[in-house]
Every structure is written in C-alpha cells, then in structure tokens.
Amino acid sequence: MQAVEGQDAVIIILGTRNDLSPTTVMSEGTKNIVEAMTAFGIKKVIACTSAFLLWDRSKVPPRLVPVTEDHDRMYEVIKKSGLDYVMVMPPHIADDQPLTGDYKVTVNSLGGRVISKHDLGHFFLACLNTSEYDRKAVSVSRNYT
C-alpha cells in the first residue's frame, strides 16, 4: 500500500516472465494495487495487458491461453474498479527499436504488429496527462522499417 500513497496515478505492468502456466499473479496483483489506490483516493490507472485480448480467442496460440485468461481477469478487475483506466494492449514489444514518440494508437482493435519498449513507455507517460483514452482499451504500434 505504501508504494501508491501520495501518487497521482499508477502504471501497472505485471507479468510472469517466461512462465506460461496457469496463473493469477497479474489479476491478484492488480486487485491489491486497485485496493491500495482506492484506500488513498488515487483515481487514474494505466495498465499493460496483452494484444491477445483483442484477438479472436480461437486464434490465440494454445500455449498463451492461460496467461491471456489472467490478463482477462486483470482487465475485469480494473473495469469494475470505478477508476479512470487506460488498458494498453501492445503487440510484440521490441527491445531493439528506438524511442520515436510517433506511433499509432487504436481503440478496441489491433493497429500493428510491434512497438518498441521505449515508445510503449512514452505512451504510458503520455496517458498520465490526458483523459483521451480513459476507460478505453487501446493498442499502440509503429512500423519501424
């Protein structure tokens, strides 16, 4: 709880690294964060989930279904929280691409296949200063070629 005390907003980026087995790490972690935010009156949250939430579920690779299911639970926790949220659902996050600050944001649909970790971070920070994407699920992407 102390980690959020005194903050204006929270950015949630939770994951399981390379463990793709069934989990509740992300959804339970999100519940704890939302509880703390509510206790301290923090109203804005930007959360990173997965572009697979925007896919037809029958097309999600089977080995990624358990993690995608927990991202679903995470999204539900946030939607039901009453907070002003931005659900960021990035495609592949590239380590080897630069910060450009120039990317495409789409609402409730996939925009592209890749985003650099730097541009993704840029977008998270940009969301702190606007309500344009509040209570929306967005994908952020760029063509780096």
Q: Catalytic site residues? A: 48, 127
CA atoms of 81 and 41, how far apart (whole Å): 12
Identify the three-state secondary structure at position 106: strand
CA atoms of 90 and 125, how far apart (whole Å): 15
Identify the three-state secondary structure at position 105: strand
Q: How far is CA 33 from the centre of its chain?
A: 14
**Residues 47, 81: contact at Cβ < 8 Å?**
no
